[in-house]
Structure 1
Amino acid sequence: MIASLQTPAGGVVPVSKRVMNLANFLHQAARRHGAEIGFVWGGASWTWAELARRVDAMAAALAANGIGKGDRVLVQSKNCNQMFESMFACFQIGAVWVPANFRQTPDEVAYLAQSSGASALICHRDFPDHAAVVPEAAPDIRFVISIGASGFGDDYDALVERHGGESAPVASVEHDDPCWFFFTSGTTGRPKAAVLTHGQMAFVVTNHLCDLMPGTTHRDASLVVAPLSHGAGVHQLTQVARAAKTVLLPGERFDVDEAWRLVEQWRITNLFTVPTIVKLLTEHPSVDAYDHSSLRYVIYAGAPMYREDQKHALKKLGNVLVQYFGLGEVTGNITVLPPALHEPDDGPDVKVGTCGYERTGMQVSIQDEQGREVAPGETGEICVCGPAVFAGYYNNPDANAKAFRNGWFRTGDLGHVDAQGYLYITGRASDMYISGGSNVYPREIEEKILTHPAVAEVAIVGVPDRTWGEVGVAVCVLRPGADSTESDLLAWMDGKVSRYKLPKRVFFWDALPRSAYGKITKKDIRAELEKRGSLPLAQPPQGGI
């Protein structure tokens, strides 16, 4: 990125827009707080000085094997200290960190390697099939590292020991130099690599500290309950910027009791997660068995939290909830709803359902299909601009053309703002369906169903219908010990929402499908409905609509 300075004589002097290499966050923490614990996993812990030495050694190992500025390093790993370190090692030499969702199949990860043009692979020993398939699909990969001893690559810790005492120079980087390929979830088609840059991420970290967790210092501690490959990785990068320690869950499986035990043991002050995990944490009996008074910020994103779940969490945890709205392409930086605006009870002055106001330095515009801004209260597509917006999708001009319009990034989410600028998300544009010529936004009906005492979770999808074009289908999960029927629930809803918004059918399942990050995935719900033979729709039982 080149800026320019106007000289008195009228000439133009090009100026390189150099920025801080993000690896400096770690080295700054090591200089200021070297002897303090920076990272905890299971029974092991590392000081900031130890982490910095390990990152230096891995950066030297990568450089010795020909990996340098601009090269992409694919990482297939569950959460561990080596994955955390690999981010900073890549940043340090100017390479691009390309973390995969570790739950993806070998073929899916092979696609990520191919589409990103990866030159190296860091793969956990638990994924030998991935290690076998990925280099075949991506012939540019010339160096494979195994996290843990295996038969498919150089052992990560052995390389750290071999290059101990060495240090690759911290690469000079400019604002738009890529540092991270953040793969989208691929809800429509193949995943796309959103290019995050050193300059953009410096703003994101500053913004997170400003808007999400003000006052964070080296005395804080953060519990990781989500994969480091996506939002949790951004959150932990922010912790490193203030030398706040990171604590990993010891196992791959999410253990609620263990999470609360760690909160008590390490006096955890913040954590990042999604609404469904907050629900699990606060409805589990162990929430009352451990001391969680140290918590100051429980940050949730990925979807708005249903109001009933929000009220329950506030009663259990106190005034610590922070919501933000943002996609990977905007690195989570669109709106914020801080603790002071999370009210435990409904009232005339409570903004129920909002995901907050614009993040510092960011601007939201609700636009119609022609790109015109609509009036407050009108529904349209949520568009955003500001320094947190990514540089674009890697090697995907068609996707970039669709994602941007007149300089605005189009989120694909629908919503409206009120007169004060608070944003309300109606849902994904792809979630909305049209029944009898009227737009139906599932979230509104889902919120209402969740006030039924027997219902723990619900998701509504639109499906084709000969008479109405499309109708809604609700899939519910009942609370333990609760009982309800389709006809009972439909009768209970009658009068609570307009009749054209009522689901045509209601099904009860033991659980709803979720992504690797804990989000309820409607495409998988629709696929499961088809698999179970629930589509096309049969007529509801007597008493339904």
Structure 2
Amino acid sequence: MTTSGEASGPLGGLKPVSTRVMNLAHFLTRNGRRFADRPGLIWGERQWSWGRIDAAVHALCAALAARGIGKGDRILVHSKNCEEMFFSMFAAFRLGAVWVPTNFRLMPDEVAYLATSSGAKGFLCHGDFPEHAVAVAKESKALQFTWRIGNGSFGEQTVGEAIAAHEGARMPDAMVERDDPCWFFFTSGTTGRSKAAVLTHGQMGFVITNHLADLVPGSTEKDASLVVAPLSHGAGVHQLVLSARGAPSILLPTERFDIDEAFRLVAKYRVTNIFTVPTILKMLVEHPAVDQHDHSSLRHVIYAGAPMYREDQKAALKKLGKVLVQYFGLGEVTGNITVLPPYLHEVEDGPQARIGSCGVERTGIQVQIQNDEGKELAPFETGEICVIGPAVFAGYYENPEANAKSFRDGWFRTGDLGHMDEQGFVYITGRASDMYISGGSNIYPREIEEKILTHPAIAEAAVLGVPDAVWGEIGIAVCVARGTGPSEAELAEYLGEKIPRYKMPKRFFFFEELPKSGYGKVPKRLVRDELEKRGLLDFVRAPGAQA
């Protein structure tokens, strides 16, 4: 009981009057009003104005509602990049439903698992994947209908037919609260089944504002974004960010990554920003097309998903200029942890270059380096990168065990290791799962990979630990050479002056290319799988095997 003048609780007993937030589909409503005739989506020779997109999404909403889709229902979408996938995001938001996109490179049984685990009620499946449609229909008990995107012979109808049947319909934006889910963002980490990170309307409203402030400041409807990755994940977030400003998204004509075509589109549409990953950025700047097309319109070339090696960073700066923007951020934090803007990217090494840093905390976000007990560590001490702020997701869908492991005292534990300097710049050492212990010493692969990549004849490198009877674990390096490349002994000799002996990989293997995920990353588990497949790990583990 309180007496006059006393306060009860942090707000003096006052509870928030409302937690309602803007439905994310309102961005589309606004674009339809302000920029009705301006392009919102460009794909090949076809363009869709914002007015046309808004009308198509209204019609798709009406069609989905007629099949029983409403607030909170999940809509699974398995599709290559196309206009109907673009529409499906906004349709889900407008209905207050949950958009559940998958990587179109997944196998049928993997998509069936995602359908079952998400409880999807409707399935929009690209016509190129009939086996996926069969697998989902067979496994999912909650599924009520399948609609096809594009050509094919399965499904009740096509998404295009559903839109045409409800042409002229107008659907109100569903009322949503801050914590109402809008997107299941699948993330698998390094092992195990994919987990659905629940993104909400309130969280995504902050994420969009933050991206506009920290990644692409000054963006307007006159900007243009080239999409070079599947819209199901980070590229979809970036597309939504630019849509909030009324800027068009330009899709590559096919799912094949054609670098010459990408640069041609940059020149044709005066593209101002691209979102990509370091491996793709490396391919862009090393291709002859970078010198054959005008790319002077580029202001923000954003890379994320993995750290970029210093030598690759230098090459990109020399070719593109000071337009690079690096950010660090997992799907669970929707890309919002740190940022290294263009002015902090330097070609020349020196104190201003911030070599190896992924930047500073994003606006509205707090980052700490913590030990295993959750205590904040001093500058330059290595620990787990942890984060709090409005961009952190609501948790994993129906996965209390994963939630318990991922949160501690309100902090989201990224699983990434690193340190912070005295000015707050964050340096990623690697994934906690990538670190290995050799002879009692912690070894962080990224540090060694950086040194390997300073060799002019090495294009890519991945270092990982494997079991060893004597040392517990030993390191091995898998490299991709430029041209002939060095021998194993020559590369070891080159590294001898750059890293301590205990960090030296015991073997160096050379592949024509490193295995990559559907998003252009190089997961260590895929490298390990390829080594196993080739029988190279057995050779490393053999008694007396030496570098």
TM-score, normalised relative to structure 2: 0.96
The residue identity in structure 2 corresponding to 1:174 is E
The residue identity in structure 2 corresponding to 1:145 is W
Q: Provide the residue aligned with 2:335 in structure 1.
A: 332
- State whether structure 2 residue 69 is matched by structure 1 residue 67: yes
How far, CA to CA, are the matches of 1:325 and 1:519 in structure 2? 14
1:40 to 36, 39, 42: 42
Specify the SS of the correspondent of 1:62: helix
- State whether structure 2 residue 129 is matched by structure 1 residue 127: yes
In structure 2, relative to structure 1, the CA distance for the partners of 1:146 and 1:493 (3 Å cut) is same
Q: Provide the residue aligned with 1:314 in structure 2.
A: 317
- State whether structure 2 residue 464 is matched by structure 1 residue 461: yes
- For residues 511-522 of structure 1, the aligned pairs below 5 Å read 511-522=513-524
The residue identity in structure 2 corresponding to 1:350 is A
Q: Provide the residue aligned with 1:236 in structure 2.
A: 239
Contact 1:486 1:506 in 2 (8 A): yes
Contact 2:327 2:337 in 1 (8 A): yes
Q: Provide the residue aligned with 1:291 in structure 2.
A: 294
1:412 to 415, 434, 445: 415
The residue identity in structure 2 corresponding to 1:375 is A
Specify the SS of the correspondent of 1:69: coil
Structure 1 residue 12 displacement after superposition: 5.1
In structure 2, relative to structure 1, the CA distance for the partners of 1:13 and 1:295 (3 Å cut) is closer
Specify the SS of the correspondent of 1:183: strand
Structure 1 residue 143 displacement after superposition: 1.6
Structure 1 residue 6 displacement after superposition: 8.6
How far, CA to CA, are the matches of 2:16 and 2:224 in structure 1? 43
Contact 2:347 2:353 in 1 (8 A): no
1:370 to 366, 369, 373: 373
Measured against aligned partners, the alpha-carbon deviations of 1:21-58 in whole angstroms (never above 9, x if no partner) come to 00011111111110111110011101000000000100
In structure 2, relative to structure 1, the CA distance for the partners of 1:189 and 1:437 (3 Å cut) is same
Structure 1 residue 15 displacement after superposition: 2.3
Contact 1:295 1:320 in 2 (8 A): yes
1:196 to 185, 196, 199: 199
Structure 1 residue 150 displacement after superposition: 2.7
- State whether structure 2 residue 214 is matched by structure 1 residue 175: no
Q: Provide the residue aligned with 1:527 in structure 2.
A: 529
Structure 1 residue 60 displacement after superposition: 0.6
Specify the SS of the correspondent of 2:274: strand
Contact 1:336 1:355 in 2 (8 A): yes
Measured against aligned partners, the alpha-carbon deviations of 1:171-200 in whole angstroms (never above 9, x if no partner) come to 000000000000003421000000000000
- State whether structure 2 residue 273 is matched by structure 1 residue 270: yes
- State whether structure 2 residue 53 is matched by structure 1 residue 83: no
The residue identity in structure 2 corresponding to 1:527 is D
The residue identity in structure 2 corresponding to 1:399 is A
Contact 1:60 1:167 in 2 (8 A): yes
How far, CA to CA, are the matches of 2:151 and 2:354 in structure 1? 53
Contact 1:217 1:244 in 2 (8 A): yes
Structure 1 residue 478 displacement after superposition: 0.6
How far, CA to CA, are the matches of 1:89 and 1:37 in structure 2? 19
Contact 1:393 1:399 in 2 (8 A): yes
Structure 1 residue 349 displacement after superposition: 3.5
How far, CA to CA, are the matches of 1:508 and 1:413 in structure 2? 27
Contact 2:121 2:143 in 1 (8 A): yes
Specify the SS of the correspondent of 1:236: helix
- State whether structure 2 residue 499 is matched by structure 1 residue 501: no
The residue identity in structure 2 corresponding to 1:489 is L
Specify the SS of the correspondent of 1:446: helix
Measured against aligned partners, the alpha-carbon deviations of 1:417-470 in whole angstroms (never above 9, x if no partner) come to 000000000000000000110000010110001011110000001000111111
The residue identity in structure 1 corresponding to 2:83 is N
The residue identity in structure 2 corresponding to 1:393 is Y
Measured against aligned partners, the alpha-carbon deviations of 1:57-116 in whole angstroms (never above 9, x if no partner) come to 001100011000000000000100100110000000000000001100000000000000
The residue identity in structure 2 corresponding to 1:63 is A
Structure 1 residue 167 displacement after superposition: 2.0
TM-score, normalised relative to structure 1: 0.96
How far, CA to CA, are the matches of 2:146 and 2:329 in structure 1? 34
How far, CA to CA, are the matches of 2:454 and 2:92 in structure 1? 48
The residue identity in structure 1 corresponding to 2:501 is R
Q: Provide the residue aligned with 1:345 in structure 2.
A: 348
Specify the SS of the correspondent of 2:137: helix
Q: Provide the residue aligned with 1:57 in structure 2.
A: 59
The residue identity in structure 2 corresponding to 1:517 is Y
How far, CA to CA, are the matches of 1:57 and 1:482 in structure 2? 58
The residue identity in structure 2 corresponding to 1:501 is K
The residue identity in structure 2 corresponding to 1:488 is E
Q: Provide the residue aligned with 1:96 in structure 2.
A: 98
The residue identity in structure 1 corresponding to 2:48 is W
Contact 1:56 1:166 in 2 (8 A): yes
Structure 1 residue 152 displacement after superposition: 1.7
How far, CA to CA, are the matches of 2:326 and 2:204 in structure 1? 20
How far, CA to CA, are the matches of 1:305 and 1:451 in structure 2? 13
How far, CA to CA, are the matches of 1:185 and 1:256 in structure 2? 28
Structure 1 residue 404 displacement after superposition: 0.2
Q: What RMSD, in angstroms, separates the aligned Cα atoms of the two structures?
A: 1.6
Please say which of residues 343-352 and 239-248 is displaced more in the overlay.
Answer: 343-352
The residue identity in structure 2 corresponding to 1:454 is A
Structure 1 residue 149 displacement after superposition: 3.6
Specify the SS of the correspondent of 2:398: coil
How far, CA to CA, are the matches of 1:143 and 1:59 in structure 2? 15
How far, CA to CA, are the matches of 2:521 and 2:167 in structure 1? 41
Structure 1 residue 162 displacement after superposition: 0.7
Q: Identity over aligned residues, as a percent?
A: 65
Contact 1:6 1:13 in 2 (8 A): no
Q: Provide the residue aligned with 1:484 in structure 2.
A: 486
Structure 1 residue 544 displacement after superposition: 6.5
Q: Provide the residue aligned with 1:113 in structure 2.
A: 115
Specify the SS of the correspondent of 2:494: helix
Specify the SS of the correspondent of 1:202: helix
Specify the SS of the correspondent of 2:419: strand
The residue identity in structure 2 corresponding to 1:390 is F
Q: Provide the residue aligned with 2:3 in structure 1.
A: none
Measured against aligned partners, the alpha-carbon deviations of 1:459-516 in whole angstroms (never above 9, x if no partner) come to 001000111111111000011x233211111111112100010000000000000000
Contact 1:491 1:544 in 2 (8 A): no
The residue identity in structure 2 corresponding to 1:423 is V
Specify the SS of the correspondent of 2:128: coil
How far, CA to CA, are the matches of 2:189 and 2:546 in structure 1? 36
How far, CA to CA, are the matches of 2:499 and 2:418 in structure 1? 19
Q: Provide the residue aligned with 1:257 in structure 2.
A: 260
- Flag structure 2 segments of 5+ consecutive residues without an equivalent: 1-6
Contact 1:365 1:382 in 2 (8 A): yes
Measured against aligned partners, the alpha-carbon deviations of 1:249-301 in whole angstroms (never above 9, x if no partner) come to 00011010110000000100001000000000000000000000000000000
Number of aligned pairs?
Answer: 537
- State whether structure 2 residue 304 is matched by structure 1 residue 301: yes
How far, CA to CA, are the matches of 2:503 and 2:122 in structure 1? 51
In structure 2, relative to structure 1, the CA distance for the partners of 1:186 and 1:420 (3 Å cut) is closer
Contact 2:539 2:545 in 1 (8 A): no
Measured against aligned partners, the alpha-carbon deviations of 1:234-259 in whole angstroms (never above 9, x if no partner) come to 00000110001100000011010110
